Structure 1
Amino acid sequence: MYYPYLRGKQFELILLRDNAEFLAKNNIHPIIEPVKSDFTALTRSMKAMNENSVEYTLIVNPVAGQKPVPSSSILTELIENEFEKLKTISVGYMLHAESNIHDLVELLEKHPDFNFSILHYGYTNGKKLAAAIDGYENIKIHVFIDGFAGKLYQRYLKKDGIKRVLIRDGFKPQKKNAHYPSNEHFSDLHITFPDEGMDGFGDYLIVGDDYTETGGPAYAVAIHLTYLDDDDMFIYHFISDQTDSPTDPGGKFLEALAKLVKKVNKPKSLIFRSRACAEYLKLYKMQHYPGLGYVKKLSMQHHIELMANFISRES
């Protein structure tokens, strides 16, 4: 199963809401780390996922952002007050270097009817953790963040009945959009996760783990699009020709989009004709710039559709 990891920015939440039926049909399990204290958009996305029986994890103690959203407000407003309606939610708890496992145990005991996903993001004492949480049957998934949970640590947490998922960041961010290569390797985890002793895999889509509240001025516009070549995953970076000033983002987008369209229409193109790809072609035909947030949403949607297509072919 595929577990895409999303921060709760506006267009990421719209992506989940608009694709809820698709996520359910393809057994895709989103992991959401809220980054906004206004839960309006998140609530709408949760409603759509609940109505379509999408299994998803909502992290209740987020760490992203300069001022992380308080755990108490997520638990109270989004989960405890709505629990009877939330049939497919898993409560996500982030364990990092500064975590106190007694807080996790207290939460497990307080909510025995909740399903829990534990995200391992820098906590180091796997043996102590395994002893502390042994016997809690409401733990359903261990999510290991690659680079923050070693092999020995993972071994302590191997237990029948609990799924194991590995999240690996395939996106390699550049300080400036103009510095991206035309294409590069993204990931092979969708193929190799069983070799890692995992039941599922995930990534940060085409955004990456490095979280920023807002981006700086776009001197160049980049459209990121993943593709498969002999089932290995790579990513195209379509860069605008204009790179020397922050003006004319719409014109820069159309420059980058023209390169995308040329690659899509090339004989034996490796780009999967997703619904998101079709939307890119439509935007090119209209010569319309929808805003960079929408562009990022489309590339994220394409990545999810590509993963779903690969999994359906392999199953």
Structure 2
Amino acid sequence: MYYPYFRGKQFDLLALRELIEKGLLSEKIQPIIEPVKNTATFQKFLLSAQNYQHPIYLIQNPQLGEFNTETGNIKLETVPARKASVVSQALETMTQRSEMLIIDQPSIALASDWENNQKKVLVPPEFRLLNKIKGDKILSLDHFTRLPSLNFYQECPDELFSTDYLNYQKRGFVGFSDFSIDSRIYYEKGYPSPILSLHLVYFFQDTLRIHHFLSSEEGVTQKEKFLVLMEEVKSWCNLLSSEQLTLGLTILFDYADKEKFPGMGVMRKASVMHHMELMSRYLQ
């Protein structure tokens, strides 16, 4: 089972919602959502997940954003979804009801009593934690390479992304989790850049790799940069099997064919859709 972790960013939620409504997100993918803003996009996503009966986990004590208050936590408790809780205090003192626990601070987890735990636990693969924590464990890793400048991706435009899906069970886990094409460290907004970027995962000999596409700085407009970038993506796609063409990629190609720039948000949405759809096909 795959539990991708999303921090409730607008275009991530739009990506998940569209996949759910189009029946393209496998039930073997159960997103964990840490909500940061109480937006219409968030509410519509929750409604879609409920209407289409797609399993998700909603973190009811987020550690940042608008819901990181007592009132915010109470609001989230009333949402009809499976709940997860970040272990932010000693486990034996937590009163929130949840079906999943998330390890954020190892020191708190190590000081807690886990003997009677019956819940699934999202945990990084640290020996002390794995030894201490009882119950079903979900492997949590951060695979996305976040660099301080987009230019740095030119040094390593293609790299291994993940093989967790191949070995998580052999390592004693009941599921695996990552942050998709984002990192564990939360950023509300990126820094402005004259370069457009697109991070696309793909399967190669059973391993999941990621290719970092960067536009040139030379284009006069964002549209020109996008169209040149998409020509590179099309050439790259032609080298892959047709099974790796997804709705997310199709959305981008449609904009390119119409010679329109969709905006960075839609590019982000499409790349998340692409990742989730590929994993859905693999896990099915």
Same fold (TM over 0.5): yes
Please list every run of 5 or more consecutive structure 1 residues that lacks an aligned counterpart in the other structure: 109-114
The one-character-per-residue Cα deviations of 1:131-173 (angstroms, maximum 9, x if unpaired) are: 4x726x5x3x2111x3xx62232233233xxx42112111101
Q: Distance in 2 between matches of 1:290 and 1:28?
A: 27
Matches within 5 A, 1:264-283: 264-266=237-239, 268-269=240-241, 272-283=244-255
Shift of 1:79: 2.9
Residue number in structure 2 paired with 1:236: 211
Contact kept in structure 1, 2:25 and 2:276, CA below 8 Å: no
Deviation at 1:306?
A: 1.0
| 1:130 lines up with 2:113 in the alignment | yes
Q: Shift of residue 219 of structure 1? A: 1.9
CA contact (8 A) 1:32 1:58 kept: yes
Amino acid at match of 1:168: L
Q: In the TM superposition, what are the counterparts of 1:149-298 in structure 2 within 5 Å?
A: 150-159=126-135, 163-180=136-153, 181-242=156-217, 248-266=221-239, 268-269=240-241, 272-298=244-270
Partner of residue 116 from structure 1, selected from 96, 99, 103: 99
- 1:171/1:127 CA distance change after superposition, 3 Å: closer
Q: Give the drift of 1:251.
A: 2.4
Alpha-carbon separation, structure 2, partners of 1:44 and 1:56: 14
In structure 2, relative to structure 1, the CA distance for the partners of 1:287 and 1:31 (3 Å cut) is same
Output the TM-score relative to the length of structure 1: 0.81
Task: Confirm or deny: 8 A CA contact 1:218 1:249 kept in the other structure.
Answer: no
Look up the SS of the partner of 2:168 in the other structure: helix
4+ residue runs over 6 A deviation: none
User: Shift of the alpha carbon at 1:242?
Assistant: 1.5
Whether the aligned pair in 2 keeps the contact of 1:164 and 1:200 (CA below 8 Å) is yes
1:275: Cα distance to partner? 1.3
* 1:81-96 equivalence runs, <5 A: 82=79, 86=80, 89-96=81-88
CA offsets 1:213-247 (integer angstroms, 9 cap, x no match): 2112122111110011111111011110226x9x7
* 1:280 aligned counterpart, secondary structure: helix
Name which structure has the greater RCO, CA cutoff 8 Å, separation 6+. Answer: 2
Report if aligned partners of 2:67, 2:73 keep a CA contact under 8 Å in 1: no
Residues 272-297 of structure 1: CA deviation (Å, up to 9, x unaligned): 11111222221221121111011011
SS in 1 for 2:106: coil
Tell me if structure 1 keeps the 8 A contact 2:87–2:102: yes
Cα 1:209–1:248, aligned 2, differ >3 Å: closer, same or farther?
Answer: farther
Residues 127, 263 of structure 1: CA spacing in aligned structure 2 closer, same or farther, 3 A cutoff? closer
Aligned CA-pair RMSD = 2.4
State how 1:60-99 maps to structure 2 within 5 Å: 60-64=60-64, 69-80=67-78, 82=79, 86=80, 89-96=81-88, 99=89
What letter is aligned with 1:227? Y
In the aligned structure 1, how far is the partner of 2:86 from the partner of 2:126? 16
For 2:221 and 2:198, locate their aligned partners in 1 and report how far apart those are by CA, in whole Å. 16
1:230 aligned partner, one-letter code: Q
TM-score for both structures, normalised by structure 2: 0.89
Q: Secondary structure of 2:189's match?
A: coil
Counterpart secondary structure, 1:211: coil
Counterpart CA distance in 2 for 1:286 and 1:76 is 46
Q: Is the 8 A contact 2:202 2:244 kept in 1?
A: yes
Instruction: Work out whether residues 58 and 92 of structure 1, in 8 Å CA contact, stay in contact via their aligned partners in 2.
Output: yes
